């Protein structure tokens, strides 16, 4: 990489600008210094700070405009302060995990300190004008986790500039002039996310400016154990754009203590990215970490004396000061005064934030102590109660959990007593518990009219001449209509563009709607997910395809950590209504027939999971999701694309409600609960069972998340009193989830006359070939055996043995 020659004066910035930067840098530094003490003295649980990284962040803030997006990590407090999106009070409120969304707007106490998010949505979930302020996507802790979404945040500018139909979306973009700025630590660049995202950004020519904060270490591990040749700059050389060419990145290598060079590099990188949509990488070298990685350890344990001494002389703030003084821009005494003012501002903010955080909890504590003291006066356990209260009042930090713990101790100690005082305390404790649970329990999904659960269902209608077509043609008609009515809708994935996806759902739609709206991507599931998240955060509606369900695992970290948690972790400030389209359950072999639904159900709470049994149901679910504001995964049935279905006359309006099961076959003896590809098998098994006098009711749950909102399954159990769940995931996978939902959550237990049964796939992966499939996944006969065996247990005389004895638990169902 070429070094930028350090720029000397004059700069476009005024002396006042530079002094303001100097003071802000020191405010941020003092916030770090005080913050560490707050953690070490136990007032905060943990602290991670941006000391040593102040200067490049100030330079970055100087080129950052309203409407630009940051996708960064926990070192960026100075930047956030410099663009006016983080006050010192907010910084400390988050350090204390203050759950008040006004005092701690970034995550309402849900995230560790230094995890930032700006308000893309208002309190009701409506979009705000994204171009009015500098924006930051919500941070998260997994290293490099911010990289996939950076792809989409940058790429959105291209779509806004190049798609004429988006010209009216002026509260989202001004002609695609926005730049997405990424930040990442040097060690996190060892993650695959980093390289995949860089490659995708380059291919997409997304206006991204990525800063690498290189302080030589990842906690204790130096660059020689992170990167080939210990040199990221050299590794990135292959991405360099050659003179006169359009593809590639502009690369800059700058010392992190050289403010003039940083300003110059950021100006050049941001201008080109904004104007020409050419991405850039700034390798910001020679940064320091004066207080070490975080409050969980000290860097003296792993840095040499020489390195520690070097860090002192290369501290950015020290160099900044020298540069201002040597350049004749400021007097030492003037800078001393600014430093003092900064220290006072940080200290005052810390005190205010602490008081504001503690005040309401102390008030609650006082209310509790008053009630508990009244009880103590008339209780036989008075002594014990007073001792518990004294312990509570001695604590340095008032915490609601301590109030709850003490309240429970008091209520347990007085459990045999009856008094108005005790009743009052018990009621207060319950109210306090519920209120505090609710404090943390908002915003997992969209609410009110934005929720896809609020979308009015529309049943499929057919004309006399409605044609019978292949399943994929139903989807094709649905997508075509959606692309026509929603200019902000884009679809992409491997083979989605030119081919129209491997099963032709998008056949011909690229030709019709354009290469930017129906697009091919590289084989990069993680950043296909990230591309979708970034686009959706900027107001677009992506349908992002993962070619086969088994490959969702490649994108799962991003889905689970970023997308599914986004609305919740930003306390409703941000959301990304991404639709992940995939296909699976049953085709051939280990990686084209898996059905890891239990894993998904557990890992993507915050998303909806749709498992349509055919393409008409799938189309109705896509329409419902597009009318809502939540992220979701739709798993189409792999072997359904060539099955014949009638094309609904209202394919564009059809809307299937989420979480509403359908009874596919009525019966009074047993309830067979299933979804997706297993629906067909369950019906075949039910036909076979009917020959033995057992009438099975087959219920298609249609979506796993949400699960059976009206309670259709329990309604069926009231009639049949027997439950068999059929699922092609491993034993204890999605079937266990369904069992919990039916038996525990919905109270199905009370209607059961026999132990519930799950019929699932084997623990090993699905085997290749038709016989392999039969002996590793549930089939008609296995479902029959399970139901018949259950019936025999209750009425052996009525159901004589079929004679197929199988050793449980290898394969369920001796009959
Ligand atoms: C996926 C993941 N692995 C490990 C960690 C634990 N961890 C937190 S920060 C960190 C080091 C990151 O170093 P670097 O990227 O250089 O950033 P720096 O903290 O030095 O600014 C590690 C290993 C994590 N947060 N996420």
Nearest CA to ligand 1 atom 18: 185
Ligand 1: nearest atom to the Cα of 289: 20
8 Å CB contact between 556 and 596: no
By DSSP bridging, strand 208-213 and strand 518-520 are unpaired
| Mean pLDDT along residues 182-204 | 98
b/e code 224-256 from CB counts within 10 Å (16+ = b): eebbeeeebbeebeebebeeeeeeebbbbbbbb
Strand partners, 61: none
- Given ligand 1 and candidates 54, 142, 188, which is best to mutate, with the most ligand atoms within 8 Å of its CB? 188
Q: What gap in Å lies between CA 495 and CA 492, rounded to an integer?
A: 8
DSSP, collapsed to helix, strand or coil, labels residue 106 as coil
Ligand 1: nearest atom to the Cα of 144: 1
- What sign does the dihedral 718-722-727-733 (CA atoms) show? positive
Distance 141 CA to ligand 1 centre (A): 8
Say yes or no to pLDDT of 200 above 50: yes
Distance 144 CA to ligand 1 centre (A): 8
Q: What residues contact residue 257 under an 8 Å CB cut-off, 6+ apart?
A: 55, 286, 287, 314, 315, 316, 318, 319, 320
pLDDT of residue 811: 52
Say yes or no to pLDDT of 813 above 80: no
Nearest CA to ligand 1 atom 13: 218
Q: What gap in Å lies between CA 280 and CA 270, rounded to an integer?
A: 8
Interior angle at CA 176, CA 172 and CA 180, nearest 5: 85
Query: 378-435: per-residue pLDDT in tens?
Result: 999 999 999 999 999 999 899 999 999 999 999 999 999 999 999 999 999 999 999 9
Residue ranges with strand state E in 628-775 = 632-637, 644-646, 662-665, 670-674, 696-700, 703-705, 723-726, 757-759
Say yes or no to pLDDT of 541 above 90: yes
Q: What gap in Å lies between CA 79 and CA 94, rounded to an integer?
A: 16
By DSSP bridging, strand 670-674 and strand 723-726 are parallel
Q: State yes or no: is 277 an active-site residue.
A: no
pLDDT of residue 50: 98
Among 688, 677, 709, 707, which residue's Cα sits nearest to residue 815? 688
Both structure tokens of 402: 């301590």
Nearest CA to ligand 1 atom 7: 143
b/e code 379-388 from CB counts within 10 Å (16+ = b): bebeebbeeb
Cut 0.95: pTM above it: yes
pLDDT band at 588 (very low <50, low <70, confident <90, very high): confident
Interior angle at CA 783, CA 781 and CA 789, nearest 5: 95
8 Å CB contact between 684 and 695: no
Distance 219 CA to ligand 1 centre (A): 7
The owner of tokens 């005082």 is 421
Cis peptide before 234 (omega within 30 of 0): no
pLDDT of residue 814: 65
Among 705, 728, 568, which residue's Cα sits nearest to residue 634? 705
Q: If DSSP states are collapsed to H, E and C, what string results for 598-615? A: HHHHHHCECEEEECCCCH
Q: What gap in Å lies between CA 807 and CA 815, rounded to an integer?
A: 11
Say yes or no to pLDDT of 221 above 80: yes
pLDDT band at 809 (very low <50, low <70, confident <90, very high): low
Strand partners, 71: 182
Cβ-in-10-Å burial (0-12, 13-18, 19+) of 721 comes to middle
| Mean pLDDT along residues 363-384 | 97
Query: 506-534: per-residue pLDDT in tens?
Result: 999 999 999 999 999 999 999 999 999 99
DSSP, collapsed to helix, strand or coil, labels residue 407 as helix
Ligand 1: nearest atom to the Cα of 294: 19
pLDDT band at 566 (very low <50, low <70, confident <90, very high): very high
> What are the pocket residues of ligand 1 if the criterion is a CB atom closer than 6 Å to any ligand atom?
75, 141-143, 185-188, 213, 215, 217-219, 293
Q: What is the mean pLDDT of the chain?
A: 96
Q: What gap in Å lies between CA 767 and CA 22, rounded to an integer?
A: 65
Q: What gap in Å lies between CA 555 and CA 324, rounded to an integer?
A: 47
8 Å CB contact between 765 and 590: yes
Distance 143 CA to ligand 1 centre (A): 5
CA dist 754 to 713, 797, 810, Å? 16, 17, 21
Task: Single out the catalytic residue among 115, 293, 585, 592.
Answer: 592
Say yes or no to pLDDT of 58 above 50: yes
Query: 460-493: per-residue pLDDT in tens?
Result: 999 999 999 999 999 999 999 999 999 999 999 9
pLDDT band at 586 (very low <50, low <70, confident <90, very high): confident
Among 705, 657, 654, 612, which residue's Cα sits nearest to residue 453? 657
pLDDT band at 585 (very low <50, low <70, confident <90, very high): confident
- Given ligand 1 and candidates 77, 217, 218, 556, which is best to mutate, with the most ligand atoms within 8 Å of its CB? 218
pLDDT of residue 806: 72
């Amino acid at each position: 990489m070429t070094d930028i020659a350090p720029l000397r004066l004059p700069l476009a910035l005024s002396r006042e600008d530079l002094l303001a930067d100097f003071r802000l840098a020191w405010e941020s530094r003092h916030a770090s210094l005080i913050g560490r003490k707050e953690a070490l003295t136990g007032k905060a649980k943990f602290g991670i700070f941006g000391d040593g990284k102040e200067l490049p962040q100030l330079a970055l803030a100087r080129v950052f405009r309203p409407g630009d997006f940051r996708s960064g990590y926990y070192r960026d407090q100075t930047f956030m302060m410099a663009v006016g999106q983080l006050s010192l009070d907010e910084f400390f409120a988050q350090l204390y995990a203050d759950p008040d969304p006004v005092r701690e707007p970034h995550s309402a106490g849900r995230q560790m300190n230094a995890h930032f998010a700006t308000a893309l949505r208002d309190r009701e979930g409506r979009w705000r004008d994204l171009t009015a302020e500098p924006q930051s996507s919500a941070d998260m802790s997994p290293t490099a986790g911010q990289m996939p979404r950076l792809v989409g945040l940058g790429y959105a500018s291209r779509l806004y500039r190049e798609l004429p139909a988006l010209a009216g979306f002026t509260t989202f973009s001004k002609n695609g002039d926005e730049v997405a700025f990424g930040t990442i630590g040097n060690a996190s660049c060892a993650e695959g996310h980093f390289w995949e995202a860089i490659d995708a950004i380059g291919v997409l020519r997304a206006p991204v400016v990525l800063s690498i904060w290189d302080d030589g270490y990842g906690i204790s591990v130096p660059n020689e154990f992170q990167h080939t040749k210990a040199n990221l700059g050299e590794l990135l050389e292959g991405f360099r754009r050659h003179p006169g060419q359009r593809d590639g990145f502009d690369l800059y290598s700058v010392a992190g203590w050289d403010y003039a060079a940083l300003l110059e590099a950021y100006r050049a990188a941001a201008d080109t990215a904004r104007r020409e949509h050419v991405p850039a990488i700034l390798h910001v070298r020679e940064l320091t970490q004066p207080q070490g990685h975080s409050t969980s350890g000290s860097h003296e344990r792993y840095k040499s004396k020489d390195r520690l001494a070097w860090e002192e002389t290369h501290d950015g703030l020290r160099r900044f000061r020298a540069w201002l003084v040597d350049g004749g821009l400021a007097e030492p005494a003037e800078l001393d005064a600014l430093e003092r003012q900064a220290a006072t501002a940080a200290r005052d903010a810390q005190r205010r934030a602490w008081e504001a955080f503690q005040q309401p909890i102390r008030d609650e504590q006082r209310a509790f102590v008053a009630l508990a003291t009244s009880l103590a006066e008339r209780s036989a356990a008075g002594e014990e109660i007073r001792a518990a209260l004294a312990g509570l009042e001695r604590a340095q930090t008032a915490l609601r959990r301590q109030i709850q713990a003490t309240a429970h101790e008091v209520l347990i100690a007085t459990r045999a007593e009856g008094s108005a005082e005790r009743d009052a305390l018990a009621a207060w404790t319950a109210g306090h518990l519920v209120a505090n649970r609710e404090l943390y329990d908002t915003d997992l999904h969209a609410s009110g009219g934005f929720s896809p659960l609020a979308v009015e269902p529309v049943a499929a209608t057919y004309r006399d001449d409605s044609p019978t077509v292949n399943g994929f043609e139903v989807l094709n008609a649905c997508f075509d209509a959606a692309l026509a009515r929603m200019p902000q809708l884009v679809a992409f994935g491997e083979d989605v563009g030119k081919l129209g996806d491997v099963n032709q759902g998008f056949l011909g739609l690229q030709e019709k709607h354009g290469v930017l709206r129906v697009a091919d991507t590289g084989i990069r599931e993680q950043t296909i997910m990230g591309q979708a998240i970034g686009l959706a955060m900027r107001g677009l509606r992506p349908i992002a395809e993962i070619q086969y369900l088994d490959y969702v695992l490649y994108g799962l970290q991003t889905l689970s950590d970023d997308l599914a948690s986004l609305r919740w972790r930003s306390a409703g400030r941000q959301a990304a209504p991404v639709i992940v389209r995939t296909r699976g359950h049953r085709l051939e072999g280990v990686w084209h027939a898996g059905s890891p639904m239990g894993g998904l159900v557990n890992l993507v709470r915050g998303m909806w999971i749709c498992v349509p049994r055919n393409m008409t149901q799938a189309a109705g679910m896509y329409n419902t999701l597009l009318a809502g504001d939540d992220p979701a995964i739709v798993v189409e049935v792999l072997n359904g694309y060539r099955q014949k279905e009638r094309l609904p006359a209202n394919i564009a309006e059809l809307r299937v409600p989420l979480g509403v099961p359908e009874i596919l076959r009525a019966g009074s003896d047993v309830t067979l609960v299933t979804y997706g590809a297993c629906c067909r098998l369950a019906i075949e098994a039910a036909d076979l069972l009917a020959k033995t006098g057992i009438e099975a009711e087959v219920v298609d749950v249609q979506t796993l998340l949400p699960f059976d909102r009206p309670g259709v399954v329990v309604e069926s159990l009231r009639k049949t009193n027997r439950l068999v769940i059929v699922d092609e995931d491993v034993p204890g996978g999605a079937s266990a989830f369904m069992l919990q939902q039916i038996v525990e959550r919905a109270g199905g237990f009370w209607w059961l006359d026999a132990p519930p049964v799950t019929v699932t796939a084997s623990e090993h992966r699905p085997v290749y070939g038709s016989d392999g499939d039969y002996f590793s996944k549930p089939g008609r006969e296995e479902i029959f055996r399970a139901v018949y065996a259950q019936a025999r247990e209750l009425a052996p005389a009525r159901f004589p043995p079929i004679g197929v004895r199988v050793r449980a638990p290898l394969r369920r169902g001796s009959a």
